[in-house]
Structure 1
């Protein structure tokens, strides 16, 4: 045992030293992704099939038993297509759109609506601004689960888009390790290390450590970014039924010359702009650094009757520091003039504390066995930020075609009041899965929510309170055969918003209802999941962008918004050697007057990814991924339908060593990354990477 641990430590240290030497010489570009299954078999590690999840109901159910649409992005898919960022990962999930409005600020949408609920191992966290700053990494996750539709039963609110659950890597009893190194386009270098195993002879203390470093330039002028990730988890068996877990994740994302805002989409005569994909509005001195510390402590106990109780305490501290440069105005088509400067310095700090207590297990009633889950959660999120504006703002700028980022550093001599507010949420929930017959189950539940905000937001009082809001949930599943089930579910929507109006005040909560019916199947000896869902959502107080002020978007509330559509999804292994994850989504969103709403969201989307182990060469795996969406617009610009095609290939040299290559955007498609705002920039052109991996 000692020699195995020593070999693992030496291997990781050697890999880290190797990466450092390469970075110093600047002769080789390295980048990598590692996702290692815990005690999974090889077949399970390679699988794209969706796995059981409790993220929808707090009950550990298979996708077929869950009366909602649920997708799983497996560790194998993350590894095969080098989905090392959360943005890249969610781009691969059926029905999800990644709204990259800037290089280092992102919104996420599903079924046309903002995703404002992230979970970590099933525990919801506050989403203060409704977006993500920096570039979140995936190196610390086993898989990513996405539950589409309203999910108020466990998230505290009933947002009708989706819930994203990140399942963290946990320690394994069996020693294992993996190191990945990759060289990529635009001087991209990355190392991933992942080591896990027992820390004592009895195996009652286990640990896992993940470290990742990524350093790269970009196809965008002047832009570069470095990420560092540390993820460590310890597990202690206090007795045969009680486990205490302590974990910490640190991530930094440091960007040089990031874009704040993006490119103008039209000229002053109304015609569409068409810049080079490398065009950036950023200055050469701009930066945006984001640092996040996430700590959790978990105590879980399993009782003799099969029930499990769990208490989780989570603390998050996120800090942002940026000196940014925004361009505003509409350029003249002939001269390119008409753009002006708006520099700013921005600092923020967000501290979150979340407590979640839950219990779940079986019970008998009327001669049948049922399941139940009970719980309560409490969260507090404290935010303080301040912006420093510049008295020289409004300086006329040269045409973007001639812009090289060379402009004097701002004075940042006009501070504002900034923000200083606290959001609190308290909720209690209960859910039960009633086994009415051998083929029919009913899931019922409700959540009672109290939401309170106090403080100021840039001079505007930010005091609001919603008490005793009841969010009911009901779902029914009927097994029509051994392979197929039909289902229906109903959820009410109550979603306190982070979006603000022109005065800086938050909009009233979104309220409405969500309906979903569908059919699910488990085929090919349960190796494949298939699903068809039909849904309808009705909402009031929906936030729709109305403009921007100094790089800050503001919104208006829209009444009577209706969304309806359907989804088709398949995941798993339909034939030997083929792993598949594919989905088609149709969404039609209309306003109260019947006009098309949320036009930046496509009506049609296709996401598919597949790999195949060549029978005559079982060490060789080849694959492809395709993302397609139809045309979108936002009132001032249009994006035609487009497809992005990615390819991969890997070869197992021996049980320990493998090599792989990835080619992204095979056809070199030029497209706007998002029309969520009235500014945008272009997605990445064709790029490639080559990886070397070692595992133990």
Structure 2
């Protein structure tokens, strides 16, 4: 004890002396000024000492106060007092000004109401663990898994995060491209699509060919859609893409069982900076983009950001020119130290000439056709007819107010308006000659208004040695849209000798309807921490309402649903960086209508059990996860065997799987991103009869669906990305993506062959060669480097999609 006391006194003395801090003249200038501070994760005591040196402020403390504690680090513009407060969050230690510009650290005294009356005065209370460290490069912090800023290592759920820097390493032209190296995600399943991003998570989803996928979110708010009107927002809008795997209804309301994709918008930064990007690529792609940010006032209370892009490109298929313009202004206002308001807006206009429904027959793609193979660049529409014109305008805000260190209020709101005018020709069926296809001409005009708001209060308090972070929220969504759809039979097309510029008859309307979908949800969550233990409990009640007013055909309906969903998880955080966990979660999707007896359908349910482990070596940027899970989609509609044209709610699909993912920093400038997914899908209960083409005799056959596997769901999916950066400013990278065979129809007759793709990139930091070119980077990136010809997926007898061919882009970017 005597030796430890002497060491403690010596340490206090060294810290008070500043450990080599700048002279007192510098100290006098800094306490009230915001400075750019960058402190890596690591032991808390070392971080405090480093802060003192950086800002020239003396910080006196006994190392015993923070022994054994660590910090997630700190990056950004802060005053010394603010920076110290952030570093000390959750440590049980607080800073007191010493009256001379410095600080003295003391143990925080718990309020009297937290101290049991019978507690012995000589026994020091255990300091509860806290769960909200500041973000750093070493510890990834995200709010998407818990709606609180919780490190990924302490979030008891599988989550993948793709940062802007990772996006720069690869050729990312869509959100689907961003997540192709993430476990549990099957992206770009519909090949090259114009309207939306086709994404499946843990086997569920796989929609979004022409509109937003049902599992898409922006800044934690659901992006509602019609299948056409909304979706496919430009990836230049975002600074991060997050994949949450498994049911998420407790925090987000109605959702698919597999999980969600969340896109995080670019936000204003306190440090001035920006980017100008010039891009040229395959298919004569020409693109320019700019992104600038910084303070508008000297006190950094008003910040701005302006991002935008324009491109003009052709596509893999003929007659598929695309043009897009997107602009996204944003502002952040900090009226005081406890309040932040960020305004987020964007406008995007698309004018696409290609087909959003360019699917192909099974025979001629994955099943041999005696006439030959259908070429990937075949255009199934007509260049005189195709058109996709969409405008998207959105405005929203994110408000945060801290009443105290223990009470915080957040309100997120977004309004999005979509307008779409679209006409397409698509394949209906393959004729007996196996070369002629019948076609249909389809047109629509849609308008939609999407309102969504999320209000939540976060409360932090201790019950003895146990820390609580309680979240109570109320959210609401309103999605209203109108649609007018038209149809006519179009001329046939020879797949192997196509004739274009044909005369297309006038379409006749077959649908004129208005929809009003509303949802209100009340949710609560408690994150409980005791020593290394993390317990999460969540509960939510939702009410949904669906109104349909139909003018053609005439009619109306008004339906409502209610759903209660639950979530529970337990994690233990070892000092060596290991964090095993077990979780249970539920989801729901509204179902409207009634069965033969007139009983209204209950919501479709999802439920998942997951056992996993996370590992992040202390102070390291490496992060690895592994998880096994049993995921069920329950209560979906299937045919009523006793009453034709009616349905019963007994359908069930089981998805069991294994996921492994790692991002590892290696010596000598190397880094690796690897992912592997094993999925075992099975229809465990169904009354439906499904059909497919038998490759043996090219006939359509039917059989019962129960016991079969899901189509377009690969059993194995693996990827590996290796990156090497040297001191001369050259970065070389390459990747492999492998997808095993999938079934091409619900009856499991046809099979889509497995495929392996190679990606590569090279980046040159020209400033490392010539100092006058600081910030200038030249890069070349290629997806499917060897131009592998493959089918991405098939979903029936006449709907197969070629995957994207070789796509090379060359970027010249200046960043400051």
Corresponding residue for residue 116 of structure 2: none
Corresponding residue for residue 487 of structure 1: 581
Asked if 2 retains the 8 angstrom alpha-carbon contact of 1:513 and 1:537, the reply is yes
Specify whether residues 432 and 639 from structure 1 end up closer, same or farther in structure 2 by C-alpha distance, changes over 3 A only: same
Corresponding residue for residue 519 of structure 1: 613
Residue 227 of structure 1 pairs with residue 324 of structure 2:
yes
Please give the alpha-carbon distance, in whole angstroms, between the structure 1 residues aligned to 2:231 and 2:451: 21
Report how far residue 259 of structure 1 moved. 3.9
Matches within 5 A, 1:83-162: 83-98=172-187, 99-100=189-190, 103-106=193-196, 107-114=198-205, 116-129=214-227, 135-157=232-254, 159-162=256-259
Please give the alpha-carbon distance, in whole angstroms, between the structure 1 residues aligned to 2:262 and 2:221: 8
Please give the alpha-carbon distance, in whole angstroms, between the structure 1 residues aligned to 2:590 and 2:532: 38
Matches within 5 A, 1:503-514: 509-514=603-608
Q: How many residues align?
A: 631
Residue 77 of structure 1 pairs with residue 166 of structure 2:
yes
Asked if 2 retains the 8 angstrom alpha-carbon contact of 1:179 and 1:192, the reply is yes
- Out of 564, 568, 578, the residue aligned to residue 474 of structure 1 is 568
Q: Normalized against structure 1, the TM-score is what?
A: 0.85
Please give the alpha-carbon distance, in whole angstroms, between the structure 1 residues aligned to 2:177 and 2:795: 18
Residue 399 of structure 1 pairs with residue 478 of structure 2:
no
Corresponding residue for residue 278 of structure 1: 377
Please give the alpha-carbon distance, in whole angstroms, between the structure 2 residues aligned to 1:310 and 1:366: 27
Asked if 2 retains the 8 angstrom alpha-carbon contact of 1:520 and 1:531, the reply is yes
Corresponding residue for residue 388 of structure 1: 486
Report how far residue 445 of structure 1 moved. 0.9
Deviation sequence 1:159-213 (CA, Å, 0-9, x none):
3211111111111111101111111111101111000011122221110000111
Mean alpha-carbon deviation: is it higher for 666-675 or for 168-177?
666-675
Corresponding residue for residue 452 of structure 1: 545
- Out of 658, 661, 668, the residue aligned to residue 780 of structure 2 is 661
| Partner SS state of residue 540, structure 2 | strand
Asked if 1 retains the 8 angstrom alpha-carbon contact of 2:305 and 2:330, the reply is yes
Corresponding residue for residue 618 of structure 1: 728
Matches within 5 A, 1:184-333: 184-266=281-363, 271-272=368-369, 274-285=373-384, 286-333=386-433
Corresponding residue for residue 22 of structure 1: none
Deviation sequence 1:360-388 (CA, Å, 0-9, x none):
24211123322121111011100111112
Please give the alpha-carbon distance, in whole angstroms, between the structure 2 residues aligned to 1:63 and 1:161: 19
Report how far residue 498 of structure 1 moved. 9.9
- Out of 426, 433, 438, the residue aligned to residue 531 of structure 2 is 438
Asked if 2 retains the 8 angstrom alpha-carbon contact of 1:102 and 1:680, the reply is no
Please give the alpha-carbon distance, in whole angstroms, between the structure 1 residues aligned to 2:168 and 2:736: 16
Residue 375 of structure 1 pairs with residue 473 of structure 2:
yes
Corresponding residue for residue 652 of structure 1: 765
| Partner SS state of residue 167, structure 2 | helix
Deviation sequence 1:538-570 (CA, Å, 0-9, x none):
22244799xxxxxxxxx9977132111110010
Specify whether residues 206 and 404 from structure 1 end up closer, same or farther in structure 2 by C-alpha distance, changes over 3 A only: farther
Specify whether residues 269 and 507 from structure 1 end up closer, same or farther in structure 2 by C-alpha distance, changes over 3 A only: farther
Specify whether residues 378 and 619 from structure 1 end up closer, same or farther in structure 2 by C-alpha distance, changes over 3 A only: same
| Partner SS state of residue 530, structure 1 | strand
Specify whether residues 576 and 448 from structure 1 end up closer, same or farther in structure 2 by C-alpha distance, changes over 3 A only: farther
Asked if 1 retains the 8 angstrom alpha-carbon contact of 2:458 and 2:472, the reply is yes
The structure with the largest alpha-carbon Rg is 2
Residue 348 of structure 1 pairs with residue 460 of structure 2:
no
Q: Normalized against structure 2, the TM-score is what?
A: 0.73
Mean alpha-carbon deviation: is it higher for 66-75 or for 94-103?
94-103
Please give the alpha-carbon distance, in whole angstroms, between the structure 2 residues aligned to 1:172 and 1:298: 15
- Out of 47, 53, 56, the residue aligned to residue 142 of structure 2 is 53
| Partner SS state of residue 77, structure 1 | helix
| Partner SS state of residue 281, structure 1 | coil
- Out of 796, 800, 806, the residue aligned to residue 686 of structure 1 is 806
Mean alpha-carbon deviation: is it higher for 170-179 or for 132-141?
132-141
Please give the alpha-carbon distance, in whole angstroms, between the structure 2 residues aligned to 1:178 and 1:39: 19
Gaps of 5+ in 1: 1-36, 41-46, 546-554
Corresponding residue for residue 180 of structure 1: 277
Please give the alpha-carbon distance, in whole angstroms, between the structure 2 residues aligned to 1:498 and 1:668: 45
Please give the alpha-carbon distance, in whole angstroms, between the structure 2 residues aligned to 1:306 and 1:405: 67
Report how far residue 128 of structure 1 moved. 4.1
Please give the alpha-carbon distance, in whole angstroms, between the structure 2 residues aligned to 1:277 and 1:643: 17
Report how far residue 439 of structure 1 moved. 1.6
